[in-house]
Every structure is written in C-alpha cells, then in structure tokens.
Amino acid sequence: MVRLRVLPPKVVAHIAAGQVIDYPVSIVKELLENALDAHAHTIRLSLEEGGNSRIIMADDGVGMTKEELQLCAQAHTTSKLQSVEDLSDIRTYGFRGEGLASITHVSRMKISSRCWDDPIGWTIEKRGKIASEPTPSGMRPGTSISIDQLFEEIPARKKFLRAASTERKSILQLIHKYLLTMDDVGIQVYDGTKEIFSCPRNRSREERLGLLLGDDVAASAFFIETEVRGAHIVVYLAHPKHARKSMSYGYVIVNGRPVALPECTTTIKEAYGSLLEPRFYPEYAVFITADPRDVDCNIDPKKQRVQLLHQNEILRALQEAIIKAIRTPFSVTTDPGVVRDRSMDTYSAALAREDKVLWTPHTRKSKNKEVLQVFNTYLIYEENDRLFLFDQHAAHERILFDQIQDDYYNKHSQPILLEKPQLCELSARDIHEIEELLPLFRNIGFAIDIFNNSTLRVDAVPQWAKRRSLRTVLTACLDDILSSPIGHFTSDQQTHLTLSYVACRSAIKAGDLLSSKEREALLNKVLTLDHHYTCPHGRPLVIELTRTYFEKLFKRT
Ligand SMILES: Nc1ncnc2c1ncn2[C@@H]1O[C@H](COP(=O)(O)OP(=O)(O)OP(=O)(O)O)[C@@H](O)[C@H]1O
Ligand SMILES: [Mg+2]
C-alpha cells in the first residue's frame, strides 16, 4: 500500500497561501505594500463588513500594462527582484512575487490597472489559476483591486473569520503603523459608505505621530537621534505618564518597513528605568535606517520581522541615548522651571513636575496622630483631610536607594580596598560570564580578577557594597546583566540595577511587624523624600485618598 504521495498543486497553493493570508488584514497589508511600491500618492481603501465581505484598494501609482496585468497574480511573478543577489539588497516592501497569487487562491480578485502613458486601462478577474481575458477599462491612471468571496473554497478558514468590528480594528491598526512610513502619501479608509480614517498627503512625521499616539502624547514626546555602525536611529519617546499596559504602542520602522521588534520595547522600557511601573510599557516610535544589505527581510512569510546585522549594537546605542537624554534615574532635576521647547532638560524638568503633582513633600503637622500598620505590610497615616497608605517595603527601599545612590554618586565613589584580597566561589558558568563582563564590573567599582575557573579574587568593592555578601552582590549584578535583552547594560544602568538590588535586599519586608517607633521613623523619612512616588523598581510607594473620596464611597455627598 502506497501512503506517501505528492500533494496536488491546488492543495500546495492553498497551504502556501494560508501562510501569507489568514485574515482580511493580511490582504490589506499586501495590497497596501503594492500600492506604496508603485509610488502611489493617494490610496483609497474601501471595506465591506470590516473587510470580511469585500476589500477594494485603489491607488494612483505607476499602474500596469495589459501584459503585466495578465502576469501579476501568477505565483513567483514580481517586478521587484531578479536574482539571488537582489535578495540581500531589498528596497521595496514586496520581493517574493507571491502576494497577489496567494490572495487569488483564497478569494476572487478583480484587478483594473492603467499606466500613466496609456490611453485606457484593462481589467481582469482571477480566482486561483483561472483568469479572465483582459477587457478595456475607462479609468484614471493607477490600479484598483477588489477582493471578495474570501475563503469561500476553504471552509476551515472561513469559519475562523472574526467579527467585522475586530477586523476593522486590526486593519486600522495596520494602517496606523504604515502611516509613519507614508510621508508623501494620503490615505482614506471607508467601511461601507462611512469614512473611518483619513490622513492627507504631505503631513509631517510629527503630525502623523500625533495621529498615531494622540496629539498631546506626541507633543510631549521627545526626540533623540543617534548613529551606530552606519545605522541612523531616530526615536520619539512619549512621557512615562502615557505608559500603556500593552507593548503594542511601540512602533519600529526599519528602512521604511514597519516591523515587529519586541526587543526594542524591552530595551526602551529598561532605559526608562523606575519611571515606569513594572507592567507598563512606553509609547514610542523608532526609525532605523540601515544599509539594506545589513537587513534581512526574508525571514518570515508575512514579512513582519527582519533581522538586523548589528541588532545588539543598535539596541545598545538606542538605550544609551535614551538614558543620557532623560537622565534617569540619577538626575531627574527638581528645578520646576518651565521651558517650552522639547529639549532633554525640559523633559527631565517635566518629569520632576509630574512627580510633584503626585507626591508633594511636606512636613508632618499632626504628630499626635498614630501611624497604623495593617497586614504587617502597609502604613496608614492621616493628615489634613487626607489618608496616606504606604507600602512599607517600597517606601523603605526608596529611602535606602536614594541614600546609597547619593553615597555612590556624590560623596565617595572611590572603591574600598579590602584589608586582604578575598576569594569568592562561584559556579564555572558564572565565572565564565563574569570574565566576559570584567570591564563592566571594574567600571562600577569592583577590583576583581579570575582566580580559577570557579573562584574570583576580589581586591576592592564599591562603597555601597561593603559589608554585603560578595557572592550575592556579584551574582545579582550578573543576573541583571544577563536578563537584559541586549546582553549588556551600560555601566550607569548596571550601577542603577545593582544599587536598587542592594536597597531592595536591605529594606524592611512586607510582612515585617514594626514597632510604633519604627513606624514613626519610617514615616518621618518618607516625608523627606522630595519627588519620588515609586520604589526603584517603579512600583507605587504611596496612595493618597481624600476625605471627599470616602464621603462619595459612603454616599454622604
Ligand atoms: N498596485 C499596484 N500597482 C502597480 N503594480 C502592481 C500593483 N500591485 C501589484 N503590482 C505588480 O504585480 C507584481 C506582483 O505583486 P505581488 O504582490 O504578488 O508580488 P510582489 O509585490 O512583487 O512581492 P510580494 O509577494 O513580496 O508582495 C508586483 O511585483 C508589481 O509589479
Ligand atoms: Mg506585493
């Protein structure tokens, strides 16, 4: 019995098409990229039922001749690529010659196109491999493609089509992403007869960013530019107060192509440091322009990811530039002076102002009021018609962190020479890792050397690390470095992480029962903090509830 057989071409085509086209949004993506590759200036997208019933994309790009029209929806047919060498120098969105063919395998397509030099255009209809003869079409130059009967012949797929509203939303999200790359292109999107989105031609990048993130977010965003390994990086970063709970508010554009690069979000989140709460993500747009030969676009059937030759260096440069620019977490200035431009200093000042709104330092007036502890974790304190709830661990951690940091940066950053060298036993793997990172460790004040493959020799430690277990401090540093998506931190970042680690380990824990004296002492110290309202890891430190809040709660107002 022969069980092994070659699949019929139609099944092969369906399988291949399924990898490119899953929902209407993937059809829109293919059509949009084709229109952009055809140098369109105006694009009109019309949907019916969020694209589930019909999608029509019309552009005023270069158009196709009658002969090209007959060829364009055949598999492996493209005007954008000719040789294997071209694959390593891709400058267009499309290059595989598969987009239109894949769509015709899962739907019915009608294409009309006219070149600018031709007096008339032509129309064909296609489904799978069957195409109609071209018929003349009176139309403006450009191309119009209409898709319907989506997944009609593939019931397994059709039943997974999502609600029209869901499709509409994901199509709009796609358009938004591409907006950042469409500087010279205007677009209108209709669902039925209703215009659901439009952006005119010749809108600046900042204006487009305003459309994407909201004007106020874009207006308070700040701008960084840097270069590394021939790659030019431009970043627009939103103020941390606009942080979102989803990672999807970060946009990465590589050589004009919107791509998914989650490492970029992680990198930026880490650069923001404790300005962001742990489960919040920054809003940003990053534009990377690199030599096309350093970018591999051919790594996924949907062309949503790319591989950058110098990705780690690019991300590291990005992170360094951001840290330098926002000067976090070390020197967020407390000068509330208002400057209206969007320079880095203004940004830092703005941060400080934001913090102040949330947490105004003040001296305690009603000293006779007792500080209560609940759940052995939170402190409660009342003043001026306000109730303050402190997280005892977070509060103490912030106090210690500020002290240790002040100690490290302002007073004595000279390492302490140990009376006699100490040997620190670590795993071979840790030693191996530390060996690669020796300059970084030395940079932050550790005079260390590899003694043998499981021991470190330590001659000096930074001030803040004295009297602490060497092993714990060193492995903590190492873990932080290795958990970074880019493998290395800058020494400033590393120092921040290490200091916050030390503060965290040394702080009062949640669950620790505090005496009334300890509660008083902690509260009095918290009140001297000037602008921080989060612990060094970004968790909130204090919650403030007003008397009005309680009155509303008990329906007294
Ligand atoms: N809107 C358009 N205007 C002008 N020509 C177009 C348009 N859409 C498609 N074409 C032509 O049809 C060809 C095939 O398009 P298709 O999308 O199938 O492949 P591709 O864009 O070359 O590569 P990919 O499969 O990666 O998208 C294109 O190379 C282009 O020459
Ligand atoms: Mg294409």
**Ligand positioned closest to the Cα atom of 303:** 1
Ligand 2 centre to CA of 144 (Å) is 14
Q: Of the candidates 326, 342, 373, which is a domain's last residue?
A: 326
Residue 536: which CATH number? 3.30.1370.100
Ligand 2 centre to CA of 257 (Å) is 13
Contact between residue 496 and residue 270 where contact means Cβ atoms under 8 Å apart: no
Helix/strand/coil for 170: helix
- CB 143 less than 6 A from any atom of ligand 1: yes
Phi then psi dihedrals of residue 517, to 5 deg: -65, -45
CA angle 531/534/536 to nearest 5° reads: 105
**Two tokens at 395?**
């509060």
**Ligand positioned closest to the Cα atom of 100:** 1
Q: Judge whether 3 lies within some domain.
A: no
Q: What is the pLDDT of residue 416?
A: 80
* Same domain (yes/no): 134, 239: no
* Same domain (yes/no): 449, 517: yes
| Sheet architecture: strand order including 455-461 | 416-425, 455-461, 447-452
Ligand 1 centre to CA of 110 (Å) is 14
Ligand 1 atom 11: the closest Cα is on which residue? 72
Q: Judge whether 349 lies within some domain.
A: no
- CB 64 less than 6 A from any atom of ligand 1: yes
Q: Judge whether 4 lies within some domain.
A: no
Ligand 2 centre to CA of 36 (Å) is 9
- CB 92 less than 6 A from any atom of ligand 1: no
* Same domain (yes/no): 25, 171: yes
- CB 30 less than 6 A from any atom of ligand 1: yes
Residue 108: which CATH number? 3.30.565.10
Q: Which of 29, 37, 41 to mutate to test the pocket of ligand 1 (most atoms within 8 A of CB)?
A: 37
Q: Which of 34, 60, 102 to mutate to test the pocket of ligand 1 (most atoms within 8 A of CB)?
A: 34
Contact between residue 355 and residue 533 where contact means Cβ atoms under 8 Å apart: yes
CA distance 542 to 387: 10
Ligand 1 atom 19: the closest Cα is on which residue? 97
* Same domain (yes/no): 280, 395: no
Task: Quickly count: other Cβ atoms within 10 Å of residue 440's Cβ.
Answer: 19
Amino acid, single-letter form, for residue 17: A
- CB 62 less than 6 A from any atom of ligand 1: yes
Identify the DSSP state of 543: E
- CB 141 less than 6 A from any atom of ligand 1: no
Q: What is the pLDDT of residue 325?
A: 76
**Two tokens at 350?**
């703005």
Q: What is the pLDDT of residue 368?
A: 63
**Ligand positioned closest to the Cα atom of 20:** 1
* Same domain (yes/no): 315, 209: yes
Task: Quickly count: other Cβ atoms within 10 Å of residue 366's Cβ.
Answer: 9
- CB 17 less than 6 A from any atom of ligand 1: no
* Same domain (yes/no): 465, 556: yes
Task: Quickly count: other Cβ atoms within 10 Å of residue 99's Cβ.
Answer: 24
DSSP 284-297: EEEEEE--GGGEE-
CA distance 143 to 115: 8
Residue 273: which CATH number? 3.30.230.10
Q: Judge whether 366 lies within some domain.
A: yes
Single out the residue of 21, 80, 61 nearest to residue 144, CA to CA: 61
Tell me whether residue 148 is exposed, middle or buried, using C-beta atoms within 10 angstroms of its C-beta: 0 to 12, 13 to 18, 19 or more: middle
Contact between residue 437 and residue 481 where contact means Cβ atoms under 8 Å apart: yes
Q: Which of 33, 93, 100 to mutate to test the pocket of ligand 1 (most atoms within 8 A of CB)?
A: 100
> How many domains in the chain?
3
* Same domain (yes/no): 117, 254: no
Q: Judge whether 335 lies within some domain.
A: no
- CB 72 less than 6 A from any atom of ligand 1: yes
CA distance 50 to 75: 27
- CB 95 less than 6 A from any atom of ligand 1: yes
Ligand 1 centre to CA of 94 (Å) is 7
- CB 99 less than 6 A from any atom of ligand 1: yes
**Two tokens at 295?**
């970018």
* Same domain (yes/no): 300, 439: no
- CB 94 less than 6 A from any atom of ligand 1: yes
Q: Which atom of ligand 1 is nearest to the CA of 77?
A: 14
Ligand 1 atom 24: the closest Cα is on which residue? 94
Helix/strand/coil for 28: helix
Ligand 1 centre to CA of 72 (Å) is 6
Number of H helices, E strands in the chain: 18, 23
- Domain with 102 in it: 9-199
Ligand 1 atom 6: the closest Cα is on which residue? 34
* Same domain (yes/no): 263, 315: yes
Ligand 1 centre to CA of 62 (Å) is 11
H-state helical runs in 54-159: 66-72, 99-106, 155-158
- CB 142 less than 6 A from any atom of ligand 1: no
- CB 356 less than 6 A from any atom of ligand 1: no
Q: Of the candidates 176, 199, 222, which is a domain's last residue?
A: 199
Ligand 1 atom 1: the closest Cα is on which residue? 35
* Same domain (yes/no): 308, 418: no
* Same domain (yes/no): 191, 209: no
Tell me the three-class secondary structure of 167-212, residue by residue.
Answer: HHHHHHHHHHHHHCCCCCCEEEEEECCEEEEEECCCCCHHHHHHHH
Q: Judge whether 334 lies within some domain.
A: no
Q: Which of 72, 90, 124, 304 to mutate to test the pocket of ligand 1 (most atoms within 8 A of CB)?
A: 72
Amino acid, single-letter form, for residue 415: P
User: pLDDT tens string for the chain (557 positions)?
Assistant: 668 888 887 777 777 777 778 899 999 999 999 999 999 999 999 999 999 999 999 999 999 999 999 999 898 889 888 787 777 788 899 988 999 999 998 899 999 999 999 999 999 999 888 889 999 999 999 999 999 998 887 887 788 888 888 888 889 889 988 988 998 999 999 999 988 888 899 888 888 888 777 776 787 788 889 999 999 999 998 877 677 767 778 899 999 999 998 888 888 888 887 677 666 778 899 999 999 999 998 888 888 899 999 999 999 999 888 887 775 333 222 222 222 223 333 333 333 333 332 333 344 455 567 889 999 899 998 888 888 888 988 888 888 777 777 766 765 567 788 889 999 887 766 787 788 788 878 877 789 999 986 789 999 987 767 766 787 778 767 766 666 555 555 666 666 766 776 676 667 778 878 888 888 888 888 877 765 567 776 778 888 888 998 998 898 87
Q: Judge whether 469 lies within some domain.
A: yes
Q: Judge whether 340 lies within some domain.
A: no
